[in-house]
Amino acid sequence: MGWLKSKKFWISLVVLAIMIASAFYIKVPLPHIQVPPETLFMVGPVPFTNTMLALLLADVVLIVMAFLATRKLEMVPRGLQNFFEIVIDFWQTQSLNHIGEKMTRAWLPLVLTVFFMVWFSNYSHFLPGFDTIGILCKAGECPGEPGAAHAAADDHAEEGAPAAESVAAAEGEEHAAPEGPAHTYFKVTDWNGIGLITERYPEDASEEEKHAEGRVLVPFLRVAASDLNMPLALALIAFLVIEFAGFKALGFGYLGKFFNFKEGGIMMGVGLLELVSEIMRIITFSFRLFGNVFAGQTLLFVFPFLVPALMVLPIYGLELFVGLIQSYVFAILILAFMQQAITAHHGPDHGDHAAEHH
């Protein structure tokens, strides 16, 4: 019975009790989960999404930190200068080990930017307000949706009119939920002019009711890498840079990796497989990052829905880890693939490191 006197036991019991009680008494609606990012506004044909805004926010944090770190450089580094020096020194060492000195001079800034951008944007997810604060709009009239301009014109025309009237006007024209991405409808209460989500409309509620009364949340901020465009853009840049480095190091001999007709049919097949895997890297690069971050975001949605209190904390810990690891993986893979690209592929007769000649 010694465990009854243990402080850890009682703390665990209290935590468990809070978690169970929260599951019964606190209702957290499951937010809308969708793969494409939500549009905040349109600039001509270009949608400005919440992931882009989050990315810019991460950029601002990064640039301000960089500015503060380099404002007054000291021989014995402290604070932010020390932080950036450690990270940059780490990547410089990695880069020197992988691609040599000359290539490092050329490509280290790119690798560092990938690392910092992914890392800071992943960690921005932990700021309060991400995915939870945004525009509450009617389905089909949210920013970037076909009815948005129409709704804006209506709002302007009926300034001060109750929301229900504009809802009715919209319904009169459409009579049903609009086409486009599936929406998740929330019940909203008004609190000093600010809409607060109380609960999610049940799935079995009629589309008309949901569309008339329900509101769709378009968050202002959403973690950037959960928008496939960001990892894909980075993957394309990485792909182009790796191929460019390969050509620069080996010249047209670089193509011999993929089109190897001199060493028989098997090697030709291997070369073609290499080519396919080379192109597939764009997909693996982008979906690895996207998958991890999107899954993390979904976990952070789902856990408070299942157990509102405390249960989400370990997931935050996990996401801290994943956010850093994914940025590391993306950057280190660029270096590793670049190393492969600049290395001649043949055996001992000319299997030397091409980078050493450059």
Return residues touching other proteins (CB under 8 A).
35-37, 45-47, 49, 52, 55, 59, 62-63, 66-67, 69-70, 73, 75, 81, 84-85, 88-89, 92, 108-110, 112-113, 116-117, 227-230, 232-234, 236-237
For CA atoms 106, 112, 114, 117, the dihedral sign is negative
Nearer CB in complex with other proteins: 59/154: 59
Under 8 Å CB-to-CB from 214, ≥6 apart: which residues? 139, 185, 186, 187, 188, 201
Nearer CB in complex with other proteins: 37/271: 37
Residue in 53, 46, 202 with CA at minimum distance from that of residue 133: 53
In whole angstroms, what is the distance from residue 277 CA to residue 289 CA?
A: 18
Kindly give the residue spans of alpha helices, DSSP state H, lying in 214-358: 229-250, 264-306, 313-342
Q: How far is the CB of 37 from other proteins (least distance, A)?
A: 6
In whole angstroms, what is the distance from residue 322 CA to residue 84 CA?
A: 20
Q: How far is the CB of 271 from other proteins (least distance, A)?
A: 29
- 303-342 core/surface letters (b: 16 or more CB in 10 A; e: else): bbeebbbebbeebeeebeebbeebbbbbbbbbbebbbebb
Q: How far is the CB of 278 from other proteins (least distance, A)?
A: 20
Nearer CB in complex with other proteins: 107/258: 107
Question: What is the CB-side half-sphere exposure of residue 324 using CA atoms within 13 A?
Answer: 6
Nearer CB in complex with other proteins: 151/241: 241
Under 8 Å CB-to-CB from 248, ≥6 apart: which residues? 342, 358
For CA atoms 106, 110, 112, 113, the dihedral sign is positive
Q: How far is the CB of 129 from other proteins (least distance, A)?
A: 21
Q: How far is the CB of 254 from other proteins (least distance, A)?
A: 24
In whole angstroms, what is the distance from residue 120 CA to residue 143 CA?
A: 27
Q: How far is the CB of 284 from other proteins (least distance, A)?
A: 15
DSSP letters for 175-219:
-SPPSSS----EEEEEETTEEEEEEEPPTTS-HHHHHHH-BEEEE
Q: Is 48 helix (H, G, I), strand (E, B) or coil?
A: strand
Nearer CB in complex with other proteins: 22/81: 81
Nearer CB in complex with other proteins: 4/73: 73
Contact predicate 217/197, CB 8 Å: yes
Contact predicate 58/72, CB 8 Å: no
Q: How far is the CB of 86 from other proteins (least distance, A)?
A: 10
Nearer CB in complex with other proteins: 49/122: 49
Q: How far is the CB of 232 from other proteins (least distance, A)?
A: 6
Q: How far is the CB of 95 from other proteins (least distance, A)?
A: 11
Nearer CB in complex with other proteins: 21/149: 149
Nearer CB in complex with other proteins: 118/355: 118
